[in-house]
Amino acid sequence: MFYYSTRNKNNAVNFATAALTGLAPDGGLFIPQEIPLYPENVKSSLGTMNFCDITFETIKPYVHTDISSSALYDIISSSFTFNAPLIEVLDRYAIELFHGPTAAFKDFGARFMARAFSYLRRGEDKPLRILVATSGDTGGAVADGFFDVPGIFVTVLYPKGRVSPLQERQIAGLGKNISAIAVEGSFDDCQRLVKAALADEELKKRMALSSANSINISRLIPQAVYYSASAGRAFAGRIDPDGDATPRVVKEQITINKKHPHLPITLCVPSGNFGNLTAGLYAMKMGAPIKRFIAATNINKTFPDYLDSGEYLARISQATLSNAMDVGAPSNFERMSAHFSLEEMRRIISGVYVEDKETKETISRIHEKSGYFLDPHSAVGWKGIDKLREQNKIGSEEPAGVLCTAHPAKFAETVEPLAGMPPIPESLSRAMDRSVNAVTIPAEISALLDEIS
């Protein structure tokens, strides 16, 4: 498999180069030359294969020229030490993506990426510096994924005062090879600084640099896995028992749901930078039984507006309760539009946006009705399905599922007053005990260069 830049189809590189450089030299994003198809026998058994095997079959065609099958198996089994339960909550499915160490879906991509980097750089003695901008959850997942990985240093940039106390401890509490920079500005500023630093010729001469945002293709590909796994299981009617509103990793128990036999599912993706949705589109194109997608945003609704008007207007991001989605200029838009025309996007994606007061109302209502806790991001996704059902864009009998992107306890300051205190996973209580160790800089490239040079 080759990868080329969204801005230039002539310069093909292999997976190792695409992953380790992050951003293409012309400022574009790497995309695979084609989206591979699942072999028939894999496609027909997505509902019954175990998670590790689905992971292997999904990632292999993207990386097989650079990572041997046995190495890939090792990388996968040490990355995915948790799974993504598909459960039923009221009138829909919830796909719980928050059972990894930092309690958000980004653990899937970040852990795979860290282990893949370590493998691809075997035998290399020059240290690698990874720069990552975060609106909250990426930083923690990447820091955790790379913590203590030899030869790799990670610098996380986050918008000062705009991440939760827990997120800040996940980002700036680890130390060792992980350093944290609080930027006086927004997430978009952080992202801009990272892009500028990655393009800085002087800096590149002095150190090996890479990025770990969802612009990095090695983080995006592993995210296709849980789409295929959950759509496959929903299609086969095999759901996991729920955790009695106290979400937990499920063992091998399953229930057969006869309500929606063999109907492809509509999936609602709470979106910010659109890495998650792009990975979902890959899974769909590979052959996972997905009918269509709902892209749900908070009031940072650049993408829903684009689907409506056909015009892409990036804007300044605004702070909301679902802070990991406070993105006014979604970086993966460039990737999506390199793969799909506006017409095609309109066919397979519906856009919807949700305001903070609706997010809050959803968290209280769903907890009251079912005992299930939604975090503010997942609540945006839940409400997105409600809205499209109201507009009759999805039928009430059609199977629909929401991607639950973070554990409710990760956003306890929002959830607790609305629904009471959700159970706290052990990894989060451990993180809360750490102290914050970050430097603060203004949102200027010179300040960042001073800091990392």
The window from 147-155, 192-200, 270-278, 424-432 that contacts ligand PLP (CB under 6 A) reads 270-278
DSSP, res 29: B
Residue 137 interacting with ligand PLP (CB under 6 A): yes
Residue 274 interacting with ligand PLP (CB under 6 A): yes
Q: Cβ 15 to ligand PLP, closest distance in Å?
A: 20
- Taking CB under 6 A as the criterion, the residue among 222, 272, 287, 401 binding ligand PLP is 272
Instruction: For residue 450, give both structure tokens.
Output: 């001073």
Residue 275 interacting with ligand PLP (CB under 6 A): yes
Q: Cβ 146 to ligand PLP, closest distance in Å?
A: 17
Q: Burial level of 165, CB count in 10 A (0-12/13-18/19+)?
A: exposed
Q: Helices (DSSP H) in 65-215: which residue ranges?
A: 69-79, 106-120, 137-146, 165-172, 187-198, 201-206
Tell me the C-alpha to C-alpha distance, in Å, between residue 355 and each of 293, 329, 376, 391: 20, 18, 11, 17
Place of tokens 């691809």: 120
Tell me how far apart the alpha carbons of residues 101 and 160 are, in angstroms, rounded to a whole number: 23
**Does residue 246 sit in helix, strand or coil?**
coil
- Taking CB under 6 A as the criterion, the residue among 104, 182, 281, 418 binding ligand PLP is 104
Instruction: For residue 238, give both structure tokens.
Output: 């095999």
Q: Cβ 223 to ligand PLP, closest distance in Å?
A: 8
* Phi, psi dihedral angles at 129 (to 5 degrees): -110, 125
Q: Which is nearer to ligand PLP, 387 or 407 (CB)?
A: 407
- Taking CB under 6 A as the criterion, the residue among 102, 186, 214, 414 binding ligand PLP is 214
The window from 163-171, 172-180, 238-246, 265-273 that contacts ligand PLP (CB under 6 A) reads 265-273
Q: Cβ 106 to ligand PLP, closest distance in Å?
A: 5
- Taking CB under 6 A as the criterion, the residue among 16, 212, 324, 441 binding ligand PLP is 324
Tell me the C-alpha to C-alpha distance, in Å, between residue 403 and each of 116, 138, 231, 400, 407: 25, 17, 11, 10, 11
Place of tokens 């269509």: 292
Residue 405 interacting with ligand PLP (CB under 6 A): yes
**Residue number with the shortest CB distance to ligand PLP?**
137
Find the binding residues for ligand PLP in span 105-124 (CB under 6 A).
106
The window from 151-159, 271-279, 338-346, 382-390 that contacts ligand PLP (CB under 6 A) reads 271-279
Residues of this chain that bind ligand PLP (CB under 6 A):
104, 106, 137, 214, 270-276, 324-325, 377, 405-406
